[in-house]
Amino acid sequence: MRFTKRIISFYLVNFLKNMLMWLLSGPIVQLRKPTGSGKSAGDTDPDETYTYAQSVFRKYMQQLEVTDPTPFLKGKAVLEIGPGDNLAVAFLFLAHGARQVVCMDRFRLVQDRTKNARLARIVLNSLPEHNREYLQQAVACAGDKEIRLDSYRLQYLCSALETIPLPDASVDLVVSNAVLEHVCNIDKLFQELNRVMKPGSVMVHALDLGPHQLYMETPLDFLTIPEWCWKLMTSCRGAPNRARKSQYEQMVVSNRFKIMTMQITDSFSRREIEGLRTRAPGLCRTLNPEDLSCRGILFAAKKNDT
């Protein structure tokens, strides 16, 4: 009885949350000030945020096998999808010579200019002279709490529904961290990426394929919820789309990208997989073993030259 109650409240609560986001996403984002990182705005320490941004930036460079980012990034136009409320990764791209960084998020999360002013100062203080100069050409700190951004060099666009408001063949590098799994129509996003990216340009994406706390008993049971019901509970909230590794691979290739590297970064435990097998043996038979166990991927892909 308690179990049934828990399941019903799981469905109901998530359905109501989705309805609220559908009706009132603007005011809710204004009120809750989500950071995009899972932490609330008040809990984010700028030094920690910068350390995190550095690790994300390094991850992108390592995946592209770039040892010296400045010559690689010099003059490039970078698109960062889903930065949340944090511009530190964009600052690092600019500091390493990127000509332009366009940040694109589904929600307007950059509201706290004081936080980004602090971050800009930390980034500037930590950089060698030549990188500092690059960043100062795009970002100026004014007093303690304000920054002025060059509106061409660093842009923050708010765009949903997988449409990218950029011209054809205008981007040299696309990056995202923990974002693609939240995109509802991932095939449409890859089509758009193919349109805005220059021939031969590259993209790097890190994905968390876990349930993001949206499960009932065992972490994999989120896969058992029928698609129509999942959509009713999640479509307006940026919850995971539940696509598995092989589906991403298929969509990347069918949208005329070539996968350069693909890494599994996290796996479900044997116990978690057994939990799903007991609950949904039929579903487990339809998934290949890698899709069943894979909980995180990091990949780089190149747009075909022609």
Ligand X SMILES: C[S@@+](CC[C@H](N)C(=O)[O-])C[C@H]1O[C@@H](n2cnc3c(N)ncnc32)[C@H](O)[C@@H]1O
Backbone φ, ψ for residue 233 (5° rounding): -90, -20
What is the x/- site pattern for ligand X, positions 107-146, by CB under 6 A? Answer: x-x-------------------------------------
Sole binder of ligand X in the list 97, 211, 238, 296 (CB under 6 A): 238
Sole binder of ligand X in the list 46, 69, 84, 296 (CB under 6 A): 84
Which DSSP state fits 38?
S
Residues 63, 261 contacting (CB under 8 angstroms): yes
Residues 101, 57 contacting (CB under 8 angstroms): no
Sole binder of ligand X in the list 98, 119, 120, 179 (CB under 6 A): 179
Q: Which stretch binds ligand X (CB under 6 A): 102-110, 134-142, 239-247, 278-286?
A: 102-110
Nearer to ligand X by C-beta: 39 or 277? 39
Q: 3-class DSSP state for residue 190? A: helix
| 189-228 residues near ligand X, rule: CB under 6 A | none
How many residues bind ligand X (CB under 6 A)? The answer is 20
| 242-301 residues near ligand X, rule: CB under 6 A | none
172: part of which helix (H) or strand (E)?
Answer: strand 171-177
Q: Which stretch binds ligand X (CB under 6 A): 61-69, 178-186, 256-264, 269-277?
A: 178-186
Report if residue 103 touches ligand X, rule: CB under 6 A. Answer: no
| Angle made by CA atoms 263, 230, 8, in degrees to the nearest 5 | 125
Sole binder of ligand X in the list 46, 83, 97, 219 (CB under 6 A): 83
146-149 and 139-142 strand pairing: antiparallel
Minimum CB separation from ligand X for residue 124, in Å?
21
Q: 3-class DSSP state for residue 257? A: strand
Nearer to ligand X by C-beta: 99 or 108? 108
Q: 3-class DSSP state for residue 266? A: strand
DSSP notation for 5-20? HHHHHHHHHHHHHHHH
Minimum CB separation from ligand X for residue 86, in Å?
7
Beta bridge partners of 68: none
Residues 76, 173 contacting (CB under 8 angstroms): yes
Minimum CB separation from ligand X for residue 174, in Å?
12
| 48-77 residues near ligand X, rule: CB under 6 A | 56
End-to-end CA distance of the chain: 60
Report if residue 183 touches ligand X, rule: CB under 6 A. Answer: yes
Beta bridge partners of 77: 100
- For binding to ligand X (CB under 6 A), which residues are involved? 36-37, 56, 81-84, 104-107, 109, 160, 162, 177-179, 182-183, 238
